[in-house]
């Protein structure tokens, strides 16, 4: 599974953080093949279940 880590060390003023309203670290976003956010702020079992659902 591939994912991207984004940072230019501007913390909450970083353009991507502002674009996606990221206000905590770590922040999780699941994107579909078109780059649309289909889930966010999932952790643990909820994250695993969503990924399994999307891969089926």
Tell me, what DSSP letter sits at residue 14? S
Mean pLDDT confidence for 24-52: 90
- The pLDDT, as a whole number, for residue 42 is 93
- The pLDDT, as a whole number, for residue 49 is 96
CB 47 within 8 A of CB 28: yes
- The pLDDT, as a whole number, for residue 20 is 84
Q: What is the DSSP string of 16-45?
A: HHHHTT--SSS--EEE-TTS-EEEES--HH
Q: Which residue has the tokens 């599974």?
A: 1
Please, which residues have CB within 8 angstroms of residue 26's CB and are 6 or more apart in sequence? none
Cα–Cα distance, 21 to 46 (Å, whole number): 21
pTM: 0.59
């Amino acid at each position: 599974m591939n994912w991207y880590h984004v940072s230019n060390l501007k913390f909450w003023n970083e353009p991507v953080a502002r674009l996606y309203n990221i206000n905590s670290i770590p922040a999780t976003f699941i994107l579909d093949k078109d780059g649309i956010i289909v889930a966010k702020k999932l952790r643990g079992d909820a994250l695993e279940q969503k990924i399994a659902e999307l891969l089926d």
